[in-house]
Amino acid sequence: MGLNFWAMLDLRRIRGDPEGVAARLKRRNPNIDLTRLLALDEERRELQREVDEIRRRQNEGSQRVAELTRGVDPALRERILSELKGLAEQRKQLEERLAQVEAALEEELLSLPNIPHDSVPSGTKEEKVVLRVWGEPPRFSFPPQHHVALAQRLGLLDLERAARISGSRFPLYTGDGAWLELTLLWWMFGLHVRDHGYTPVLPPILANRRSFLVSGQLPKFAEELYYCPADDLFLNPTAESLLANLHNDEILEEEQLPLRYVAYTPCFRREAGSYGEEQRGLIRVHQFNKIELFWYSTPQTSYQALEELVSHAERVLQLLGLHYRVTLLPATDLAFQSAKTVDLEVWLPGQGGYYEVSSCSNCEDFQARRGNVRYRPKAGGKPQYVHTLNGSGLATSRLFAAILEQNQRPDGTVVLPKVLAELLDQEVLG
């Protein structure tokens, strides 16, 4: 896999409290079983002890042979050389088995998701906790239209031509729709740089296998990624996958933290499967644009950082005047790499429901262990793993839909939020 197995989920932590770790992981998935992992770990340690003992005996034997070259007891020298040859063969066999066990152990560790934080509730997706609600849902004197109907009438989207070019679930923004999409991205990117103090980044869109191992998309979610086999590169499903690798194999200074990055990328997700009527249009697509927020912080400040990260994503919706709610995801609905996730869900009156537009997560040291990203405490002591956090700030597809649906008028036109109207020099679409 290319990663040191010590850099996965903390193996010492699992070994020290296997029942406690298993119980917490079972909150995410009751089928998780650590039996094989613990057996492999025990075998690996026993093999390593045997290899170390043979190495010690080889060193002693080699030293004795060196002494006997001075002409003392040639028969004894030959016997020791014969023993050394046997030890070398024995060591070779043990090291081959050790390599097999380490590979299997690494595979087991890579398959384990992050341990949920204690504040994460148990339960299923339907049991998410609503933390707060902002604004009121718009009231209409007419049946609100779906964003697809509004966009097609106003010439903002052409899904038929997009399907001819690429297939289903790829958007094609046209006319004022293209301007609106680009303006949203430019405005959000600038907001996070100027008002929230993020460092701007435009990363590569393709990344190598190690990058996706570090971020947590591989090996478990390979089928959801677009892959370029000739180059062994993957298209990013989110800029988190790229930003999580900015400081691999580095030791940062505590004074540098937190590091906060904002990136723009198009994002690509295969998401194979069939979808219902409620997910048509821009609700679930294979390609979308997103502004991503990413933090590197100390463990002591990462949950305070999560609250600040959420507030930055919320600020986008507040400035756009869009009604939304904030929810805390239960353990079974967490992303593989997340220890805690807070979602922002915007109201779509055309569907009569809330849809996620941002997931803000604290991954604690899960990605940092895989990427070997540490910091040197200013108080002294050995380097520690950083905590990484990520959140959409925001993804535009559902945001685009919410702007249309929450601001529609009886004649099918759409009033633009003030911040966008000023940038586009246009108050109404249509």
Average pLDDT of 182-188?
98
pTM for the model: 0.92
The confidence score (pLDDT) of residue 8 equals 54
Contact criterion met (CB below 8 Å) for 369 and 9: yes
pLDDT in tens, 313-323: 999 999 999 99
Contact criterion met (CB below 8 Å) for 214 and 248: yes
The confidence score (pLDDT) of residue 69 equals 62
Domains of the chain: 5-110 (1.10.287.40), 125-429 (3.30.930.10)
Average pLDDT of 106-113?
92
Q: What is the CA radius of gyration of the chain?
A: 27
**What band does 214 get if pLDDT is binned at 50, 70 and 90?**
very high
Average pLDDT of 47-64?
89
The confidence score (pLDDT) of residue 77 equals 72
For the chain, the first-to-last Cα distance in angstroms comes to 53
The confidence score (pLDDT) of residue 429 equals 96
The confidence score (pLDDT) of residue 9 equals 61
* pLDDT for residue 19 is more than 90: yes
The confidence score (pLDDT) of residue 257 equals 98
Q: Which of 246, 199, 202, 417 is nearest to 318 (CA)?
A: 417
**What band does 6 get if pLDDT is binned at 50, 70 and 90?**
very low
The confidence score (pLDDT) of residue 1 equals 42
Average pLDDT of 257-272?
93
pLDDT in tens, 268-309: 999 755 566 667 899 999 999 999 999 999 999 999 999 999
pLDDT in tens, 388-402: 999 999 999 999 999
* pLDDT for residue 172 is more than 70: yes
**What band does 242 get if pLDDT is binned at 50, 70 and 90?**
very high
Contact criterion met (CB below 8 Å) for 361 and 341: yes
Contact criterion met (CB below 8 Å) for 308 and 342: no
* pLDDT for residue 346 is more than 90: yes
The confidence score (pLDDT) of residue 203 equals 97
pLDDT in tens, 114-133: 999 999 999 888 889 999 99
- Which residues are bridge partners to 266 per DSSP? 289
| Summary mean pLDDT of the chain | 93
* pLDDT for residue 330 is more than 60: yes
**What band does 2 get if pLDDT is binned at 50, 70 and 90?**
very low
List residues with catalytic annotation.
269, 284, 356, 359, 398
**What band does 4 get if pLDDT is binned at 50, 70 and 90?**
low
Average pLDDT of 211-238?
94
The confidence score (pLDDT) of residue 306 equals 98
